Structure 1
Amino acid sequence: MKTVLSYLSPYKWLVITALLFMLIELSVELVQPLLIAAIIDEGILANDQQKIFFLGSIMLGLSVIAFFAGIINTFIASHAVQSYGYDIRQAIFKKIQSFTMATFFKFPTASLITRLTNDVTITQNVIFMGLRIMLRAPLLVIGSIIMSFLVHPYLALFLVIGAPFLVVFLYIMSRKGLTLFGNVQKSVDKVTRKVQENLQAVRLIKAYLRGNFESTRFAGVAETLKMDNVKAFRIMELILPVLLFVMNVSLMAVLWFGAKEIQTADAQMGELVAIVNYAMRMTGAFSMFAFIIIFFSRAKASAERMEEVLLVQEGIEEIDNDLKREFPREGKIEFQHVSFHYPTTNTPVLKDVSFSVQPGSKLAIMGATGSGKSTLLNLIPRFFEATEGEILVDGIDVKEWSLRELRQVIGVVPQQSILFTGSIEDNLGWGDSTATTELLKEAAKQAQIHNSIEQFPDQYNTKVGQKGVNLSGGQKQRLSIARALVRKPEILLLDDSTSALDVSTENALWEALEDENATMLVITQKVRTAQGADQILLLDEGAVSAYGTHNELMESSSLYREIAESQQEGDDHVELHS
């Protein structure tokens, strides 16, 4: 938990102040039994009304001080903990943003969501309870033992007789709790993942009437979470009865031997009452230990999960490095014997791929599903590093570019159109936050979406639902293309980004992009689209099967002819088979 707790450092003075006021409360609580003993021995038994009034007034004054100390402690602790939660959430989110794609895929999305939300909340709550209650409980036990020995050492021995057993018992239970609540957090991840998956696929679930089936599947993961919680809390519930049993035995021993001490005049009535009072306070504190161990175990499990993200050292993108070389920006792309496999497998996705694309030209990339088309595009902005070979942009290896400089010259339109909650203007400006309204509209016109936007009641201020749920597939694709065009990139990567467009709209789009001074790499399944490209790259199981113009491939590639002939028969969207 060291890394997680380090985010409290900026608020150390708030923490110290909160602890100071907690100690004031604790001091009052430890002094009160002494005052009660004095009232009994020096006031009630001595029939001294003035003494009773005087000591009672002191007790009342100390209680008021403790009351205000508790309020101030709560206020300061809340401020420190909420600030801490903000800081650590920001740090985790920023760290996730710095992950390479390979590192990102090591963490399930649902798990990252849980770490940013549930895990942070758990640690916040435990730190707050630590400043307010949790640290007070063990200090109250220790303080009560010390004060008991000051009051009457012989009777105090009976309070600590079970201490060694309790220390060992609590240590064992805390270790068990850490393991069990770690399992609980993993089960929470699975529930979050299932909810996320179902909410994203809600249309498909309704279309196929699979609601009951998905409910049954959700019940399975929810049942696992329930059983993990039950198992954890069942073990933890043993703590309180054991603690109370040991303390009650100690209390009975104090009363038994205390009565004998009073009979022999070796102890006063007030001293016995004070010892009993301290024993009751210890019992109350021990009753909190069960909850402390539960919350601490959960917090430690959550802290370790957060640290797993915060301490990632490898697979981090250095967006701002010291390399500030001025590169030419023309948009030429070269692949030289490039091979690639994902970090989690040795199966090659790309094998010895070589080709070049001249500045301002258009390359169509075709191939069967799984042939490596999207992977090829992902290597250019260095979402992944090539396993072998070199990728050159304007004659410079992409590894020599700073990531910021490299990605500033690239516009990416992913296969799945991703839009963000906000207005249409916000989504278009996301590509370049400095773009003017005129530039946004120009890009929208090029992407053939301007007229559709103008028909919306709020036009460019129209709110886009989560992931563009209130837009059609074609509208989302065209907005994604416009967002990339706003950047005025030298290289434009389009991953099957016109699949939802009708023929006339797509033709108008390509015609509008002819004036765009950008090198375009376009993944497509349509021969009609590929025909308008300067070159066509045909991939087959990760290797280059053919490379050239449409006419050249019709003559030299039987695979390409097969694709063209099948689409000429009327199916533009036939899947490519190797």
Structure 2
Amino acid sequence: MLTGLLREKLQPYRSWITAVVALQVVATMAMLYLPALNADIIDKGVVTGDTGYIGRLGAWMLAVSAVQGICTVGAVYAGARSASALGRDLRAAVFDRVQRFSTREIGQIGTPSLITRSTNDIQQVQMLTLMGLTMMAAAPIMGVGAAIMAVHEDAPLSLLLVLVVPVLGLSVAAIVRRMRPLGRDMQDRVDGINRVLREQIAGVRVVRAFVRDGFERRRFAGANDDLYDVSMAMGRLMSMMFPLVILVINLSSVLVIWFGGLRIDSGGMQIGALTAFLSYLMQMLMAVMMATFMFVMLPRAEASAERIVEVLDTESSLEPPVAPRLPAGRSRGRLELRDVEFRYPGADEPVLHGVSLVAEPGQVTAVIGSTGAGKTTMINLIPRLADVTAGEVLLDGVDVRELDPAVLASSIGLVPQRPYLFSGTVGSNVRYGDPAATDEQVWEALDVAQARDFVSAMPEGLETPIAQGGTNVSGGQRQRLAIARALVRRPALYLFDDSFSALDYATDAALRQALMRRTSDAAVLIVAQRVNTIRHADRIVVLDEGRVVGTGRHEELMETCETYREIVLSQLTEQEAA
């Protein structure tokens, strides 16, 4: 899986990879040539006292060393550039895929895991690619070349390599085999840390309100200890690997010097040749060391690649239309739900059963029902945050599953149940609905949303900073800024999903009056828990356990729908409800 991912994503950078390999070949060949030159200096220059010969070969060695250094720098640069480009492309690919996910896929994988896969996992693959391009291209050439040169210097002494190299290779392979399953465990434990941290940071107010600091510390400590245990298991194996490699290198050096000394004593070998042989032995073992570094990183990178590919291979349940359609004429915002059913994967019963309603342009249609009735689920089906499992959702007579996605997005202004503000300023958050909106249009939207007063009171007005998630403003202010964000877009259909719940009654009433004027030519669909918010709507739809149990105006439903009457009387008296 790792190989396939790298082959696909590194395809555009073949020229850079070719340059890395070519430069590594030149640098490695230069490194292999240097010990032979050094041996000639010792055996033919130092022994005979020929200083001219020493000077000529010394100058040649400097030139070869310079070529080696330049090629190594170029190879590392090209390798780093390719690895960085790979990381950039993988992050872009994962982000693009996640952007197309429905709430179903995001829920299956999990937000903390998606964050880990977009950051830590991609970094693991990127680092392995960098090490592979800068080390693994040179290691085989260095290992094979050093073996050939060692045999050339002294064939009998080279028999030691037949013993040393297999022992080292088998030992490293045995350790790496045990490290591979730990790599996936480590990435899963990082997911666990991110999950706990995200929950604790996002829910810090709840934690403190219920004095659960001690419980959360223990929960984080558990996740932290889990990661620590896997890291220690990986560390123990690594602590065995490097001393083992160094031990083999040192024992090999002792054996070479011992038997090489005997060869020199018998006249079968010269001192310079023994020096070169030692250098080639070190180069062979260095090639093994380089491969060892790769093997240490390989288990985590393999696990990371599997997790990245899992995201890239996950198909969204929101299939794009094969032949996108457009509404006949200008978008008016007429919404119709026909016998809509929605069932979550694996659920025994649908959340929505045969829901039908119509929201006409120029009218306010309201949906009310008890908690869990399916109101928010129904709202999410309209902008295709999820798709119906039966029935149709029509916008201006076209099924939203067949509608051009750009037209669908531009036709809808959604204010979700939990409005989210992005890090930036008040102005940038309101302009999220329309990046081209002028300051005048932004202030107009804020005025309708009853947000002008508190924004004007802020030190920097529209340029006042907003923290991520809008944590530096109150819940009511966050809702009003989200409403202004939808208003500045001027869509044909407005969807308000319990968007007035944090407002006081006076602000709620003023906002509804201003909305009536601003949205007079658009269709408005309001989901609310407050009866006062929706009692004057042109049409009220009552949901109960995913079914429509009543449709009409307030006065009609008070007479004909027992569910609606119970909801109203739980909030108002008979006199107030009349």
Partner of residue 523, structure 1: 527
Partner of residue 295, structure 1: 297
Contact 1:159 1:247 in 2 (8 A): no
User: What does residue range 119-268 of structure 1 map to in structure 2 within 5 Å?
Assistant: 119-268=121-270
Partner of residue 538, structure 2: 534
1:564 aligns with 2:568: yes
Determine the C-alpha separation between the residues in 1 that align with 2:238 and 2:47: 45
Q: Report the secondary structure of 2:401's partner residue.
A: helix
* Corresponding residue to 1:369 among 368, 371, 374: 371
Contact 1:4 1:88 in 2 (8 A): no
1:364, distance to aligned residue in structure 2 (A): 1.7
Q: Could you list the runs of 5+ residues in structure 2 that have no partner in the other structure?
A: none
User: What does residue range 58-73 of structure 1 map to in structure 2 within 5 Å?
Assistant: 58-73=60-75
Q: Report the secondary structure of 2:414's partner residue.
A: strand
Determine the C-alpha separation between the residues in 2 that align with 1:546 and 1:78: 65
Determine the C-alpha separation between the residues in 2 that align with 1:314 and 1:447: 35
1:278 aligns with 2:272: no
Partner of residue 496, structure 1: 498
Q: Report the secondary structure of 1:568's partner residue.
A: coil
Contact 2:318 2:386 in 1 (8 A): no
Determine the C-alpha separation between the residues in 1 that align with 2:445 and 2:237: 62
Larger mean Cα displacement after TM superposition, 307-316 or 187-196: 307-316
1:169, distance to aligned residue in structure 2 (A): 4.2
Number of residue equivalences: 570
1:207, distance to aligned residue in structure 2 (A): 3.1
* Corresponding residue to 2:84 among 79, 82, 85: 82
Partner of residue 387, structure 1: 389
Q: Report the secondary structure of 1:302's partner residue.
A: helix
Code of the aligned partner of 1:559: T
1:549 aligns with 2:553: yes
Code of the aligned partner of 1:240: F
Code of the aligned partner of 1:137: A
Give per-residue Cα distances to partners, 1:401-451, cap 9 Å, x unaligned: 122212221110001111111111111111112223222222211111122
Code of the aligned partner of 1:65: V
1:493, distance to aligned residue in structure 2 (A): 0.8
* Corresponding residue to 2:361 among 355, 359, 370: 359
Aligned in 2, Cα 1:409/1:544: closer, same or farther, shift over 3 Å?
Answer: same
Partner of residue 576, structure 1: none
Larger mean Cα displacement after TM superposition, 186-195 or 125-134: 125-134
1:361, distance to aligned residue in structure 2 (A): 1.7
Aligned in 2, Cα 1:546/1:455: closer, same or farther, shift over 3 Å?
Answer: same
1:389, distance to aligned residue in structure 2 (A): 1.5
Determine the C-alpha separation between the residues in 2 that align with 1:299 and 1:250: 32
Larger mean Cα displacement after TM superposition, 342-351 or 511-520: 342-351
Give per-residue Cα distances to partners, 1:478-515, cap 9 Å, x unaligned: 11111111111111111110001111111111111112
Contact 1:244 1:283 in 2 (8 A): no
Determine the C-alpha separation between the residues in 1 that align with 2:346 and 2:420: 26
Code of the aligned partner of 1:400: E
User: What does residue range 8-87 of structure 1 map to in structure 2 within 5 Å?
Assistant: 8-87=10-89
Give per-residue Cα distances to partners, 1:50-82, cap 9 Å, x unaligned: 323322222223223323333333333333333
Contact 2:451 2:480 in 1 (8 A): yes
Partner of residue 317, structure 2: 315
Aligned in 2, Cα 1:284/1:397: closer, same or farther, shift over 3 Å?
Answer: closer
Q: Report the secondary structure of 2:143's partner residue.
A: helix
Contact 2:86 2:126 in 1 (8 A): yes
Determine the C-alpha separation between the residues in 1 that align with 2:365 and 2:61: 86
Determine the C-alpha separation between the residues in 2 that align with 1:77 and 1:385: 44
Determine the C-alpha separation between the residues in 1 that align with 2:286 and 2:397: 74
Q: Report the secondary structure of 2:108's partner residue.
A: coil
Determine the C-alpha separation between the residues in 1 that align with 2:501 and 2:115: 31
1:407 aligns with 2:427: no
Determine the C-alpha separation between the residues in 2 that align with 1:28 and 1:57: 14
Aligned in 2, Cα 1:4/1:19: closer, same or farther, shift over 3 Å?
Answer: closer
Q: Report the secondary structure of 1:366's partner residue.
A: strand
Partner of residue 447, structure 2: 445
Partner of residue 575, structure 1: none
Code of the aligned partner of 1:542: G
Q: Report the secondary structure of 2:383's partner residue.
A: coil
Contact 1:237 1:290 in 2 (8 A): no
RMSD: 2.3
Determine the C-alpha separation between the residues in 2 that align with 1:209 and 1:5: 52
Contact 2:373 2:546 in 1 (8 A): yes
Code of the aligned partner of 2:34: Q
Q: Could you list the runs of 5+ residues in structure 1 that have no partner in the other structure?
A: 573-578
Partner of residue 328, structure 2: 327
Contact 2:379 2:495 in 1 (8 A): yes
1:521, distance to aligned residue in structure 2 (A): 1.5
1:123, distance to aligned residue in structure 2 (A): 2.2
Determine the C-alpha separation between the residues in 2 that align with 1:106 and 1:462: 37
Determine the C-alpha separation between the residues in 1 that align with 2:478 and 2:559: 37
1:462, distance to aligned residue in structure 2 (A): 1.4
1:322, distance to aligned residue in structure 2 (A): 4.4
Partner of residue 397, structure 1: 399
Contact 1:365 1:539 in 2 (8 A): yes
Determine the C-alpha separation between the residues in 1 that align with 2:18 and 2:337: 59
Give per-residue Cα distances to partners, 1:490-549, cap 9 Å, x unaligned: 111111100011111111111111121221111111111121112222222212222222
Aligned in 2, Cα 1:15/1:26: closer, same or farther, shift over 3 Å?
Answer: same
Code of the aligned partner of 2:261: A
1:21, distance to aligned residue in structure 2 (A): 2.7
Q: TM-score, normalised by structure 1?
A: 0.92
Contact 1:331 1:360 in 2 (8 A): no
1:149, distance to aligned residue in structure 2 (A): 1.7
Larger mean Cα displacement after TM superposition, 32-41 or 475-484: 32-41
1:365, distance to aligned residue in structure 2 (A): 1.4
1:197, distance to aligned residue in structure 2 (A): 1.5
Contact 1:527 1:564 in 2 (8 A): yes
Q: Report the secondary structure of 2:373's partner residue.
A: coil
Code of the aligned partner of 2:420: I
Contact 1:99 1:317 in 2 (8 A): no
Code of the aligned partner of 1:156: S
Contact 1:411 1:492 in 2 (8 A): yes
Q: TM-score, normalised by structure 2?
A: 0.92
Contact 2:135 2:291 in 1 (8 A): no
Contact 1:377 1:493 in 2 (8 A): yes
Larger mean Cα displacement after TM superposition, 298-307 or 207-216: 207-216
Contact 1:18 1:131 in 2 (8 A): yes
Larger mean Cα displacement after TM superposition, 347-356 or 9-18: 9-18
